[in-house]
Amino acid sequence: MNLLLINYEYPPIGGGAATATYYTAYELVKQGHQVTVLTANYQKLRGWIDEDGVKVYRCRALRKSPDRSSLLEQLSFVISATFVLPSLLKKQAIEGMIVYFSLPCGPLGLWSKIIRKTPYVISQRGGDVPKIVNSINWLHYFLTPVRRLILKYSLAVVANSKGLQQASQKIDPSPVVVIPNGVNIDFFIPKKHNNSIFQFLFVGRFHKQKNLFFTLEQLVQLRKNTDFPFEFHIVGDGPLKKPLQEHAKKLNLDSMIKWHGWLERQKILKLYQQSDCLLNLSLYEGMPNVVLEAMACGLPIIASHVIGNDAVVQHSKTGYLVDLENPSQLQEILISLLNNPELAKQLGHAGRETVVKEFSWEKVAKEYVQLF
């Protein structure tokens, strides 16, 4: 098939949805399909680029930052892509589209259906489902008729976890199927290490969603509760970077925190492999790629018990799901891992086995094609 993937962010910009788009595109090419990606330009990345068989077109947009995008920047992509789509659909002989996010990208699927009768699948990622992100509920309410029209005329609506599927179906009448994220198990692999200091790791955007202020405060409490030495390695960037660093300094955590900024894939892999546990105490998720990558590298996961995390982490088997309203439970779990490195290794080994068995991009790509 000739397939078009639409996402306003695509590596090297964006987060989990960008990563999912990237790996799905490459797996589709491996399976013999022709794939085009329509995304936003960023700095010198613009126009047509052939990336190992995937044709990427970066149209004009106002994107300024690699890690975040404002509503205006997203809208600028949608407007620009609206003018690009007619010729792109014809030139590439597109037979079907995977559109990431019902909003902001969903209108582009509906537009393509109108002008060329091209079928499209909507891939929901989390924040585009109402009541997942409270700060934009007003926008979801205002755009409800548009969103429901987009979902109604799609070939299928996909969620990347059962929790997100249920949340979507509570709000909108359209049925939703589940296709989980995958992970590159040939790239993200474990490596034996023996740290004298236990290394916790966080990877992600510095956004309110990731609950990093709470995470820092819990590490302060952990330092009071144990004499076991530990470090906290933080990979990422975002609008909260300066406030977070100031808060860490105020809490006297400077000596045990390592700020890495954004890292390229090879360096992130190395950090996964030398760490002992991933912390992902976020307020909400779609399905976190970071958690899957860490599990593939043999890390135990301590994650908040929220939609998305609960689709990946098996409590007491591959890690722990914790109630954010019960910090004492979190402290008990943190201390148990610090005092029992063998337990951490057992959980990590089980996590690796889980992702190898259940989460692959090959499976993801095949399931999307089956929808068409």
**Residue 254: CB atoms within 10 Å:** 11
H/E element, 29: helix 16-30
Angle among Cα 225, 229, 231 to the nearest 5 degrees reads: 105
Q: What is the pLDDT of residue 27?
A: 96
Question: Which string of b and e fits 298-314 if b means at least 16 CB within 10 Å?
Answer: bbbbbbbbbbbbbbbbb
Q: Which residues pair with 58 in a beta bridge?
A: 39, 47
Angle among Cα 251, 253, 256 to the nearest 5 degrees reads: 170
**301 dihedral zone (left: phi>0; alpha: psi -120 to 50; beta):** beta
Please, which pLDDT band fits residue 285 given cuts at 50, 70 and 90? confident
Q: Note the pLDDT tens digit of each residue in 247-265.
A: 999 999 989 999 999 898 8
pLDDT at 89 over 90: yes
**Mean pLDDT, to the nearest integer, of 174-188?**
94
- Torsion angle in degrees (nearest 10) through CA of 329, 333, 336, 341: 180
SS3 content of the chain, % helix, strand, coil (to 5): 45, 20, 35
Which residues have CB under 8 Å from 70's CB, separation 6+?
none
Please, which pLDDT band fits residue 322 given cuts at 50, 70 and 90? very high
What burial class does residue 11 get, using C-beta atoms within 10 Å of its C-beta: 0-12 exposed, 13-18 middle, 19+ buried?
A: middle
**Mean pLDDT, to the nearest integer, of 295-310?**
95
Please, which pLDDT band fits residue 294 given cuts at 50, 70 and 90? very high
Q: Note the pLDDT tens digit of each residue in 182-203.
A: 999 999 999 988 888 999 999 9
Q: What is the pLDDT of residue 286?
A: 76
Q: What is the pLDDT of residue 347?
A: 97
Please, which pLDDT band fits residue 240 given cuts at 50, 70 and 90? very high
Q: What is the pLDDT of residue 66?
A: 85
3-class secondary structure, 55: strand
**Mean pLDDT, to the nearest integer, of 50-64?**
95
H/E element, 51: strand 47-51
**Residue 108: CB atoms within 10 Å:** 23
Q: What percent of the chain has pLDDT over 70?
A: 100
Q: Note the pLDDT tens digit of each residue in 113-156.
A: 999 999 999 999 988 999 888 888 999 999 999 999 999 999 99
CATH class of 2-179: alpha beta
Please, which pLDDT band fits residue 11 given cuts at 50, 70 and 90? very high
Q: What is the pLDDT of residue 195?
A: 87
Q: Tokens at residue 240, please?
A: 């909260």
Please, which pLDDT band fits residue 55 given cuts at 50, 70 and 90? very high
DSSP assignment letter at 118: -
pTM: 0.82
CATH 3.40.50.2000 in the chain, residues? 2-179, 198-358
On whether the CB atoms of residues 153 and 119 are closer than 8 A, the answer is no
DSSP string across 253-294: -GGGEEEEES--HHHHHHHHHH-SEEEE--S--S--HHHHHH
Helices (H) and strands (E) in the chain, counts: 13, 14
Instruction: Give the integer Cα–Cα distance in Å for 223 and 291.
Output: 24
DSSP string across 300-344: -EEEESSTTGGGT--BTTTEEEE-TT-HHHHHHHHHHHHH-HHHH
Q: Which CATH superfamily hosts domain 198-358?
A: Glycogen Phosphorylase B; (3.40.50.2000)
Per-chain mean pLDDT for the chain: 95
Length of the chain: 372
DSSP string across 197-254: SEEEEEES--SGGG-HHHHHHHHHHHHHH--S-EEEEEE---TTHHHHHHHHHHTT-G
**Mean pLDDT, to the nearest integer, of 28-36?**
97
